[in-house]
Every structure is written in C-alpha cells, then in structure tokens.
Structure 1
Amino acid sequence: MPRPLAPLASPDDTEAQFYEALQQGDIDKLMAVWADDDEVVCVHPGGPRVIGLGAIRAQFEAMFANGSIQAQPEKVRRVHTHDSAVHSVVEQVRVMTEDGPRSAHVIATNVYVKTAQGWRMVCHHASPGTPREMPEISEAPTTLH
C-alpha cells in the first residue's frame, strides 16, 4: 500500500489529504490515508457497505473513471481522544451532469485512529445528499470552558 505524500500528524491532516485526493482524482494519495486493516469500511450515498482496502480501492477507481470528485468538507464537528477521532462533516459535492453542473450537500462521518504510521482513516460513511444543505438540530453546550 502506498504511504502518504506528507506526514499525517493529526486527524485534520488525514482528512485534508482525503479530500485533496478526491478533488485530484489521485487513487494512490487517497488510499494512503486508510489504515492498513482488513476491517476498514466505506459507504457511499445509497451504496453498499464496502469492506477492506482492495474493495475500497476498486470502488474509488470506478468513481475516478468518471473524473475527480469535487467534494469540499464544511461545518466539521470533531470528537477527539488520545488515539481516535470522529468527524461529522457536511460535504458540498459538485458534479457535472447532462444538464450542466449540479451541487448537493452530503452528510458524512469520517473515523480516524492513531497508528504507528500516524493518523489513518478507518471509516468513511456518507448519506444521500440534497440540493440544499439540511438544517442542523443542536442544543446549546452545557459545559463552560
């Protein structure tokens, strides 16, 4: 498996490389963010659960055959511990259709773990998108810092 082009010193670094690789259509850069583990998981909007590096690579290669994926993470919510992190993001995805460019907002969850090689992705799970961003439902924080 190819190693990352830059050190992945934090979950944010790993996430940045993941979205850069999507936007560049760079399969090696994209696969370098994934943990070297048989149980890594990827779910694309409306798609099946894809398990394992080989299956994930094949899925992204098929997607890249149609061009790069213009997905930009927005409104990132983070939960970090010493050796794991969960990011909930709103992805703004732009695609070219027969009718011209279209945008959608996709809700995704990215899970990272700290490994001997740095922070790596173990799960990317994206829900079907909508043309407009869906509102967030949130309560006010109860902890004062």
Structure 2
Amino acid sequence: MPRFARLFEAAADTLNAFYQAVAEGNIDSVMTLWIDEEFATCISAQGAHLHGLDGIRAGLAKELEAAPVTIEPLDIRVYDSLGTVVYAIAEAHKPADPAGVSRLIFTTYVMVHERGEWRIAHLHASPMPDAAAGQFAAKMRHGQGPLH
C-alpha cells in the first residue's frame, strides 16, 4: 500500500504546480499539466466552456491576462482510484489587483495517470452562490471547518 500512497501524493504535486503556474500567470506551465489528449475540457469560473488543448490554452491565457489570480485551497476532498484522482475543492480566488474582490469558487479537478505522471483531464469551476459563500465564511471564522 505505501507505493499507492506516493502515487496519489504525486497528483497533489500536479495540483500545487497548477496553483503556482496560475499565480505566475504562466500559461506555458499551466498547459504542461494537462493530459495530452484533445478530449481535455475546462469550465472556468467565468463560465467559459473550453474544449481541446488549443481551446483551453486560448481561454485560460485570455482569463489570466485579463484578471490574474492567486488560488488558495480552503477545503479539499479527494477521491482516488488506481488511475484517476478527483479533487473537489472550495477555493479562494484572490485577484492580483489589491483593489479587487476575492471570490469563493467550487472547483473539481479530474486527473489521470498518464505515462508515469498525473495530468489534468478536466477542470470545472463554479462561483459559490452568495448564501453558500456566507455560510462557508462564517464556519471558517468560527473554526468549525468549512463544510461541517
């Protein structure tokens, strides 16, 4: 079993590399983390439906250029099997502009193990509804944990 523990830790390394590349606004680094297949898909927090690697690159580059962000994971749920890991994460998207407003986002990442490495196959991000965001923030402030 320890072999699998390391295997799934590597998926977390890919997720952390994604967060770092987004914070740097480095679209080339972001794209190296995606599976090398045209069935890759992304639904961004802004609502764009991006399909295929070229579409994902163009859409994410446009979003990163228009509104660079830092992503902070607040609550992470992990579902894993031998070749797939799914992360369901409540995230704070903090704009690079100090005058900007942070947003709470629910994001699901589907990662697959490809040629010895974990790669993103699908990303689905949705803004947290205002009522849920308020409840989430209140629980975080009171130390109850975000989703209890």
Regarding TM over 0.5, the answer is yes
The TM-score, its normalising length taken from structure 2, stands at: 0.77
Gaps of 5+ in 2: 1-7, 137-145
Whether the 8 Å contact between 1:105 and 1:133 is mirrored in structure 2 is no
Identity of aligned residues (%): 25
- For 2:13, what is the secondary structure of its paired residue? helix
Does the Cα contact within 8 Å between 1:25 and 1:67 map onto a contact in 2? no
Large movers: runs of 4+ above 2 Å: 129-138
Bigger fraction of residues in helix: 2
Q: Specify the code of the residue in structure 2 equivalent to 1:22.
A: V
- Correspondence list, 1:9-88, <5 A: 10-66=10-66, 68-88=68-88
Amino acid at match of 1:104: R
State how many pairs are aligned. Answer: 130
Name the SS for the 1:29 alignment partner: helix
Displacement of 1:42 after TM fit?
Answer: 0.3
Q: How far apart in 2 are the matches of 1:10 and 1:83?
A: 12
Secondary structure of the residue aligned to 1:75 is strand
What does 1:96-107 align with in structure 2 at a 5 Å threshold?
A: 100-107=99-106
Q: What 5-or-longer segments of structure 1 have no aligned partner?
A: 1-7, 139-145
Q: Is the 8 A contact 2:48 2:59 kept in 1?
A: no
Where relative contact order (Cα < 8 A, 6+ residues apart) is larger, the structure is: 1
Under a length normalisation based on structure 1, what TM-score does the superposition of the two structures give? Answer: 0.79
Mapped partners of 2:46, 2:62: distance in 1: 16
Equivalent residue, structure 1, for 2:123: 124
Q: Give the counterpart letter for 1:73 in structure 2.
A: P
